[in-house]
């Protein structure tokens, strides 16, 4: 009886070993077929990145516009033996000048005093061998200058005529500007981009490639396009010899395109 039980026990153990081996076989089959992402096999080598092919071009845009604002420095210089007389005469003349400016339509905000000075001029010395001076106590010079902004540039000649008739004897530093330079600068940038695009397309055709998207764009100079005075002169008007001409705004850009 004991021998039979032992044989049954041995058979039972062999059965367990068989079942365990079958389980390991099934597990190995699952691993080979790649069901487990952890043991799917050796990792693939990372792909090598191809270098990005590009076309780099530069473009320049220019926009010429007629100035619409003028600035002029006008004023009076008077001389008198006594400072009181020089100051009084200067004040009288400048009151007339300011009235003339308002009469031709120049606003108060567009009249700015830029220089007011009183200077005592010593008399010249006498010739060698004499004492004292040749001209008494000297004289006083009073200077009063204002900067006038003329927003209607067509009135430029009329303004200058009015102030000289009122007593102005100093006119200098006449300049012309564009009241809204941002608009002209934007147009210059747009023209620069168009030129750069045309260059890139021509290079792509010549190289037998297809132009891709813009990868980068930058503006050379790092600031607002600088206006350059153009020496083109308009016909002189009957009222004065001043010519306005044109101002040219210039912009430069650099663009990088991809190649498809």
131-164 pLDDT, tens digit per residue, is 555 556 889 999 999 999 999 988 999 999 999 9
pLDDT at residue 103, rounded to an integer? 95
Same CATH topology for 54-66+181-259 and 69-126+134-177: the answer is no
CB 83 within 8 A of CB 118: yes
**Which residue did the predictor score with more confidence, 39 or 202?**
202
Average pLDDT over residues 68-76: 95
pLDDT digits (tens, 9 = 90+) for 18-57: 444 444 444 444 333 333 343 444 444 555 677 889 999 9
pLDDT digits (tens, 9 = 90+) for 99-124: 999 999 999 999 999 999 999 998 87
| Secondary structure of residue 184 in the 3-state scheme | helix
CA 260 – CA 256 distance, rounded (Å): 13
Helix (H) or strand (E) holding 34: none
pLDDT at residue 50, rounded to an integer? 73
> What confidence category does residue 233 fall into, taking pLDDT thresholds of 50, 70 and 90?
very low
* Record: fold of 69-126+134-177: Alpha-Beta Plaits (3.30.70)
- How big is the chain, counted in residues? 260
* Record: fold of 54-66+181-259: Translation Initiation Factor IF3 (3.30.110)
pTM: 0.62
Domain-wise residue ranges, the chain: 1-40, 54-66+181-259, 69-126+134-177
N- to C-terminal Cα distance for the chain? 88
| Percentage of the residues of the chain whose pLDDT score is greater than 90 | 59
Pairing of strands 69-80, 170-177: antiparallel
């Amino acid at each position: 009886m004991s021998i039979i039980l032992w044989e049954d026990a041995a058979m039972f153990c062999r059965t367990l070993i068989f079942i365990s081996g079958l389980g390991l076989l099934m597990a190995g089959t699952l691993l080979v077929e790649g069901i487990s992402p952890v043991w799917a096999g050796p990792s693939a080598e990372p792909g090598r990145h191809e270098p990005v092919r590009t076309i780099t071009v530069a473009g320049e845009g220019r926009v010429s516009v007629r100035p619409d604002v003028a600035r002029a420095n006008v004023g009076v210089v008077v001389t008198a033996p006594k400072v009181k007389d020089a100051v009084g005469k200067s004040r009288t003349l400048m009151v007339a000048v300011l009235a003339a400016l308002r009469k031709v339509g120049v606003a108060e905000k567009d009249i700015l005093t830029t220089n007011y000075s009183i200077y005592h001029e010593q008399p010249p010395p006498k010739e060698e061998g004499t004492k004292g001076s040749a001209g008494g106590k000297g004289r006083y010079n009073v200077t009063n200058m204002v900067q006038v902004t003329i927003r209607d540039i067509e009135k430029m000649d009329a303004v200058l005529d009015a102030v000289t008739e009122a007593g102005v004897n100093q006119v200098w530093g006449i300049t012309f500007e564009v009241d809204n330079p941002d608009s002209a600068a934007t147009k210059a940038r747009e023209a620069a981009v168009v030129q750069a695009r045309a260059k890139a397309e021509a290079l792509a055709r010549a190289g037998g490639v297809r132009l891709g998207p813009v990868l980068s764009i930058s503006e050379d100079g790092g600031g607002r396009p600088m206006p350059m005075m153009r020496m083109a002169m308009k016909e002189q008007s009957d009222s004065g010899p001043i010519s306005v001409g044109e101002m040219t705004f210039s912009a430069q850009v650099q663009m990088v395109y991809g190649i498809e």
